[in-house]
Chain A
């Protein structure tokens, strides 16, 4: 390759420098088609271990599509075709031998709108461990539920009413319940698709604080429409536009001195 200038959208290894962080998930030349529509083009992005990677970009840019590739959520869409390399700890997650249910336990997901099951708070969190048989007796399960609720910063608020329906909680609490539910099956990566879009600023701040705590133990990828949120919670930011990954980098660099004009335009509110 003649051009020696690093493209802002290239992962470190392709620019000749070794990445200065441990890569948890590696993606190379990921392409996604929905029938005829080419939704994602040649996306190559490294997801750093135990840090928060924010995916930003205008609606329809492919950021949620990319997020959903990371735990094969797109498998559920018939017309969707994913190609390219997607690895978790060096293992191809699209390999024919991969158990998708197990994969999604390792790479959990939290959605835009809190979606607790119509069950008790306890059973919401216990659901995953029960499905995956992750406990040997009742007190083991209780321990998993309590620890998950604690890690999700919800335990103190619900400890006296674990039998109440999950849907009886406030929006912010419901979202933390969903995070506890994702944590309960012992994931390594947590994907979050606009987890605060239906929450008020206080509930949002609590989730953001929680995300910051969670990154001690988990790798987090978050899609957000709020640039300020991306700036507040993430260590790395990737900017998508019309199916292309335009720029990726350290969050402070992206928000103070983006290299690409499109990134600059988007984060400063010059085009939507």
Chain B
């Protein structure tokens, strides 16, 4: 498939999944309104915990309460983008698809696998609550910080989110690839990775012990998905250094995840799946 055809199919598929997402959430007025409201309240409550702590102690981990608020907003935007682009149909939780033997459904589609993985999880309406909440929190934090927002800064904000998403997804796909070899044991491993991300990424790592800080920026690079980008965006970390770290980390993480995933797929093509569970398939 040539580049032109690839992008034509990509956008048509995004449009298709957007329509399906809209049809799904709008199937019933009551369900739709309750869903949106519950999503919004849930998202705000997730953000409030660390912020209240920062307010009480006048800051956490080397960041003042407004900076912590910005970081929480950034985290919510990262999670929001994850929810919008890959949360549908377990595309983010790919270990479920692999572990349940559902890759067969992917292999019978006349599409490159990367195109399927890029588009099938797209849910721009039902998954957008966290993104809007995150952007609002970021806006409030920047206003309280009186931080000058320029076009260049907005571009940097977008770029850092792309890199954060690459790192997060790479972590999930790297761990999920284990399900090719251990389908039962690793079926839910992507959920565990996501839980670690959601629980740890809200905390500023500034005053943590060095060993922990290094571990959380290398072995399990949670710090690179929210904490470091927030420091760069708030001018608390040198731009060239921070950006270089993020670019290298995203490149290395993507390379490792792609390599292991391809190796796992070869293994899957060799031995197939010894189990099949229909749970979660297009539900």
Q: Are A and B interaction partners?
A: no
Chain B interface residues toward A at CB < 8 A: none
Chain A interface residues toward B at CB < 8 A: none
